[in-house]
Amino acid sequence: MRVGLISGLLLSAMTTVAPALAQETADAVAPEAAATGQVQALSPEATAAQEAKANGQPVEAQNWMVAAANPLAVEAGANILRAGGTAADAMVAVQVVLGLVEPQSSGLGGGAFLVWYDATSGEMTTLDARETAPRAATPTLFQDESGEPLKFFDAVVGGLSVGTPGTPALLEEAHRRWGSTPWPSLFADGIRLAEGGFAVSPRLAGLVEGDAERLSRFPATAEYFLPGGTPLAEGDLLKNPAYAETLRVLAQEGAAGFYGGDIAAGIVNTVRSAPGNPGVLAGIDLALYQVIEREPVCATYRAFEVCGMGPPSSGALTVGQILGTLNSYDLAALGADSTEAWRLIGDASRLAFADRGRYMADSDFVPVPTSGLVDPDYLAGRAALLNAEAALAEVSAGSPEFDHALNWADDESIELPSTSHISIVDAQGNVLSMTTTIENGFGSRLMTNGFLLNNELTDFSFRSHSDGVPIANRMEPGKRPRSSMSPTIVMQDGKPVLAIGSPGGSRIIGYVAKSIIAWADWGMDVQQALALPHLVNRFGTYDVEEGTSAADMADALTALGYEVNARDLTSGLHAIEIGDTLRGGADPRREGIALGE
C-alpha cells in the first residue's frame, strides 16, 4: 500500500529498537505505535557504513558484525546483536526485514541455505531449506505436449514454478538450535516497518518499473507494486499490513502458523488458481516440509579450507573445484591484472561447470560423487589440462571417483539472477553465512499474505532426458532443484577467517571464487576484494564487467580464443573477515552495508 511520497534523502524508516523492546513479544508491538508514518534518517552508524563503502573502505568492529543487502535489514540485525543476541537471532530479524524492503530477492515465500560455525563446539554445519517440488510434480512439468521445454518466462510466471517454501522453517530451526533472544521479539522491526512504512529504495523502484508488465498480471501483486496502475517510485512510503499480519502469526505460532492454517491455504489457493498457469502445490507439501541438516562440503585452497553448502547446491562443490584446480598455479605471482591469471581462472571455471552440469543435483534423489569432485588428486588431473597457451578448445565433464555411478546426461536448466546474501558474526564468535532467494526477480510474481512466492522449480532442468539418458537435475516429486547459491565460511587452522556469499544465479559461483582469490592471493582487504571488477566464465563465454577495468581485458582474452561479452554483472557480495578485528564489506553494486561494534 503506497501512502505518499517522501524525500529521497530520507532513505529509511530505521530507528533503534531498545533492548527492552527486544525482550517483549511482537504481540506487544501495538499497530498504532508502529504506524507513525514518520520516516527517519538512517542511524549515524549506518550512514558511516554507507560512506565507508563509497570510499572503498571496509567497516571495522571488535565484537559483532552484520552485512546484508539493505540498510534497514542490517540495522534490524544490529539491534538484536547489540542487545546480546546470537547470529541466528540476528539472521531472523534481517531476513524478515529483507522480505519487506527487498521483496524481489528473498522472503518467506522462498528458500535458503545456511552455513553455521559454532564457537562453542568449534564445529561447522549447514541447514538446507531449499524449496521442494510438489508431490504432484513430474519430470515433464516444464514441457509442452510434444515434450519440448517451455520458454523460460512461460514457466516462471504463475503457479507452475512455485516450490514449497523453506525459509520460514529455516528461521525457526536456526533459532531453535542457536538462538537466545525470545522468538517473538525478532519480528518487532519487521512488523514496525511493515505497518509504519519504509521508503522504496532506488533499486526496488527500478526493478518494479522494468518488470511492470509481468507484475501487472496478478491483482494482488499489481495492487502492491503498481498501485493505481503506476509503478512504485523511489522514495515512496510503502506499507504492507498483510505482511505485518503474517509476521504476527509467525511470531505467535512459529512456523506451524505458516505451514498450516490461513497462510498455507492462501499459498495453495494462489498457486492452484493462477490465471493461465496454475500450479500443483498442495497443502500436504507445506505440511510435510522439512529443513535438512547436511555436512558442509570443504575444499583445500592454499592454507585455507573453503567450506559451504553441498548438494542440492552446486555452490561449494563448484567453488571448491575452481579453487582446487587453481591450487597448483601461482596466482599471487601473476597478479590481478594478468591475462594469464584470468585464463587459468576462466578455464578452471569452465571445467568445474562441465562437472556441475553432469553430476550435481539433489543427492537425496541421485547419486552425486561429492567427495570425488573435490578430491585433490582428481583436481590435479583437471589442473593439468590448464597447462596450455590459450583458451581450452573444448571442455567436458571429467570422471571423478563415484561410490556408485550412473550415466547422466548434461543439464539444461536456465538460471537468471535474483537472491540475497547475509553474513553475520556475533559477540560469542559464532559465524553465519546464508544465501536466500525466491529465484527470479519477484519470483513467480504471485503474491499472498504480503509476500511473493518463489519460482524455484525453474532451477530444475526443463528437459528430463537427453538422447534417452536421464538428466540428474530433472524434476521429481519432493526433490530440491539444484542451486548455485554458495554461502561460504573460509577456515584457517580450524578457525573461521571469512564469511562470504552473493546473489547472481549461476554467476554466484564465479563472484565468490574471484573474491576469495582476490582476498587470499592478491592481498586485498574484504571491501577491495568484493569491489574488484568481475570476469566470469561459466560455459565458454567470458563475461567481463562493463565500464570497469575488466572490460579492458576483452581484446587480450579474445586473442586467447574466448568469446567475450561486456555486460552488467550485479553481484551482491557481503563478507566479513574475522581476525583480531572484524572487517566487513558490502558490494558497491548494490544497496547493502556492513555494520558492527
C-alpha span between 473 and 317 (Å, rounded): 15
Choose one: 240-248, 336-344, 386-394, 481-489; the region binding ligand GLY (CB under 6 A): 481-489
C-alpha span between 249 and 1 (Å, rounded): 20
CA 179 to chain centre: 22
Residue closer to ligand GLY by CB (options 73, 438) is 438
Calculate Rg over the CA atoms of the chain: 22
Exposure b/e, 283-311, CB count within 10 A at least 16 = b: eebbeebebeebebbbbebeebbbbbbbb
Of residues 95, 419, 423, 473, which one binds ligand GLY by CB under 6 A? 419
Total Cβ atoms within 10 A of residue 255: 20
- Does position 571 interact with ligand GLY (CB under 6 A)? The reply is no
Site residues for ligand GLY, 502-541, by CB under 6 A, read: 505
- Does position 483 interact with ligand GLY (CB under 6 A)? The reply is yes
Residue closer to ligand GLY by CB (options 191, 422) is 422
Q: Which residues contact 213 (CB under 8 A, 6 or more apart)?
A: none
C-alpha span between 203 and 223 (Å, rounded): 19
- Does position 89 interact with ligand GLY (CB under 6 A)? The reply is no
Total Cβ atoms within 10 A of residue 231: 19
C-alpha span between 144 and 546 (Å, rounded): 37
CB 379 within 8 A of CB 325: yes
- Each residue 450-479 as x (binds ligand GLY by CB under 6 A) or -, in order, gives ---------x--------------------
- Does position 415 interact with ligand GLY (CB under 6 A)? The reply is yes
> At its nearest, how many Å lie between ligand GLY and the CB of residue 360?
11
Specify whether 419 is catalytic. yes
> At its nearest, how many Å lie between ligand GLY and the CB of residue 382?
23
> At its nearest, how many Å lie between ligand GLY and the CB of residue 440?
8
Total Cβ atoms within 10 A of residue 580: 6
CB 408 within 8 A of CB 400: no
Q: Which residue is nearest to ligand GLY (CB)?
A: 483
CB 6 within 8 A of CB 39: yes
Exposure b/e, 90-128, CB count within 10 A at least 16 = b: bbbbbbbbbbbbbbbbbbbbbbbbbbbbbbeeeebbbbb
> At its nearest, how many Å lie between ligand GLY and the CB of residue 505?
6
CB 584 within 8 A of CB 61: yes
Of residues 131, 173, 285, 439, which one binds ligand GLY by CB under 6 A? 439
Residue closer to ligand GLY by CB (options 65, 170) is 170
- Does position 105 interact with ligand GLY (CB under 6 A)? The reply is no
The count of residues interacting with ligand GLY (CB under 6 A) is: 9
Q: What share of the chain is helix, strand, coil (3-state, %, to 5)?
A: 40, 20, 45
CB 290 within 8 A of CB 351: no
- Does position 437 interact with ligand GLY (CB under 6 A)? The reply is yes
- Does position 413 interact with ligand GLY (CB under 6 A)? The reply is no
> At its nearest, how many Å lie between ligand GLY and the CB of residue 459?
5
Q: Which of 164, 325, 419, 488 is catalytic?
A: 419
Residue closer to ligand GLY by CB (options 158, 184) is 158
Of residues 464, 484, 528, 537, which one binds ligand GLY by CB under 6 A? 484
> At its nearest, how many Å lie between ligand GLY and the CB of residue 152?
13
Of 363, 438, 359, nearest to 131 by C-alpha is 438
> At its nearest, how many Å lie between ligand GLY and the CB of residue 456?
6
Of residues 485, 498, 553, 557, which one binds ligand GLY by CB under 6 A? 485
Half-sphere exposure of 171 (CA within 13 A, CB side): 34
> At its nearest, how many Å lie between ligand GLY and the CB of residue 526?
23
Residues near ligand GLY (CB under 6 A) are: 415, 419, 437, 439, 459, 483-485, 505
Catalytic residues: 419
